[in-house]
Amino acid sequence: MSAITEFVSTGKPVSAGERIPAGDAAAALSDDDLLQRYAWPDGDGVRIRLNFVTSLDGAVTVGGVSGPLGGEADHRVFDLLRRQAHVVLLGAGTARDEGYGAMRVDEASGAWRQAHGLAAHPAFALVSGRANLDPGSDIFANAPTRPIVFTLASAAAERRAALAEVAEVVVVGETSLDIAGLVAELHERGLTDVLCEGGPRLASALFDADAVAELCLSLDSLAVGGSGPRLTSGVAAFSRRFHLAGALRAEDLLLLRYRRARD
Ligand SMILES: NC(=O)c1ccc[n+]([C@@H]2O[C@H](COP(=O)([O-])OP(=O)(O)OC[C@H]3O[C@@H](n4cnc5c(N)ncnc54)[C@H](OP(=O)(O)O)[C@@H]3O)[C@@H](O)[C@H]2O)c1
């Protein structure tokens, strides 16, 4: 298991070819330590936490998927963030490109969740404006609880009807996604601690609506070039300031946590 520690600079200059020394083994954070670092802040209402990994030069994909980025430490945090969430929110593009299956956590996470008063598995909410998800896929066929599909009134009626056989289909907007409506639907279901696992189009809509409370950003030390998407793609420019709320490291990977600045 790759060691994750607090990010601490020695305060001394780093010579060419060196890196800031990694924390010693004793400083490695346990899963409980990490869960504490990533605990949801107190507060009412829906909080959306976005989790992304990027290359050093800002790409969120390498060869069309995020898999080559982040490595073991990022996967560990990814799983622990799921462990704490009421619901995982996902764009249909990511579900299709990354081959998502049903929303199930492992046994240790399930036990932790139940000990903390949560359902054994997080709920799964997918956003597909065109209702373009395969109703026969593992996402639905193997789901521990009926997933939610957020879609638009403009989606083809047959596709919505087919998905309604296997999911709760909720219309949030006529021709464009109504984020406030989506948030209200989650709130109504008591799904307030929301982990959004992407992708860029959904993330853009959430940033644009100023609905991102927290960004968990894993910064990989690999630069990749190319024309792959950034964390936000395809929306007009916006400006949202965040405060740094945490910085961990695993070798050269930084695990950063930013909270929306409200001051
Ligand atoms: N590095 C990372 O951490 C990370 C995380 C997640 C994803 N990714 C990568 O991102 C890529 C996918 O990008 P993407 O932009 O296609 O992702 P996406 O946001 O997951 O999916 C876009 C699709 O989801 C639906 N959707 C999302 N936002 C919508 C909105 N505001 N209104 C209506 N429908 C909306 C639409 O589905 P329909 O087409 O069905 O209408 C849209 O085509 C993949 O290559 C994946 O590997 C990387």
CA distances from 81 to 7, 42, 62, 112, 220 (A): 19, 16, 23, 12, 18
Mean pLDDT on 159-171: 98
Ligand 1 centroid vs 241 CA: distance in angstroms? 23
Mutational test site, ligand 1, from 49, 60, 74, 206, max ligand atoms within 8 Å of CB: 60
Structural domain includes residue 40: no
Two tokens, residue 15: 């010579």
Structural domain includes residue 198: yes
| Ligand 1 contact via 91 beta carbon (within 6 Å) | yes
* Residue 221 in this model has a pLDDT that exceeds 90: yes
Among 77, 71, 133, residue whose Cα is nearest residue 100: 133
Mutational test site, ligand 1, from 65, 201, 253, 256, max ligand atoms within 8 Å of CB: 201
| pLDDT score, position 26 | 65
pLDDT digits (tens, 9 = 90+) for 109-122: 999 999 999 999 99
Number of structural domains in the chain: 1
Structural domain includes residue 170: yes
Structural domain includes residue 7: no
Query: Whose Cα sits closest to atom 21 in ligand 1?
Result: 93
- 20 burial type by CB count under 10 A (0-12 exposed, 13-18 middle, 19+ buried): middle
Mutational test site, ligand 1, from 133, 202, 235, max ligand atoms within 8 Å of CB: 202
| pLDDT score, position 8 | 80
Q: Among all chains, which residue has been given the structure tokens 């809509």?
A: 205
Structural domain includes residue 228: yes
Q: Which domain holds residue 195?
A: 45-260
| pLDDT score, position 9 | 76
* Residue 11 in this model has a pLDDT that exceeds 90: no
HEC assignment per residue over 45-92: CCEEEEEEEECCCCCCCECCECCCCCHHHHHHHHHHHHHHCCEEEEEH
Average pLDDT over the chain, rounded to an integer: 94
| Ligand 1 contact via 93 beta carbon (within 6 Å) | yes
* Residue 25 in this model has a pLDDT that exceeds 80: no
* Residue 1 in this model has a pLDDT that exceeds 90: no
The answer for residues whose C-beta is within 8 angstroms of residue 62's C-beta and 6 or more apart is 55, 68, 69, 222, 224, 226, 228
Q: Residue 23's pLDDT band (boundaries 50, 70, 90)?
A: low
Ligand 1 centroid vs 206 CA: distance in angstroms? 12
* Residue 84 in this model has a pLDDT that exceeds 80: yes
- What is the domain-level CATH number for residue 69? 3.40.430.10
Q: Residue 77's pLDDT band (boundaries 50, 70, 90)?
A: very high
Q: Percent of the chain, pLDDT > 70? A: 98
Structural domain includes residue 11: no
Neighbours of 246 (CB within 10 A): 15
Global confidence as pTM: 0.97
Structural domain includes residue 36: no
pLDDT digits (tens, 9 = 90+) for 85-132: 999 999 999 999 999 999 999 999 999 999 999 999 999 999 999 999
| pLDDT score, position 44 | 86
Structural domain includes residue 187: yes
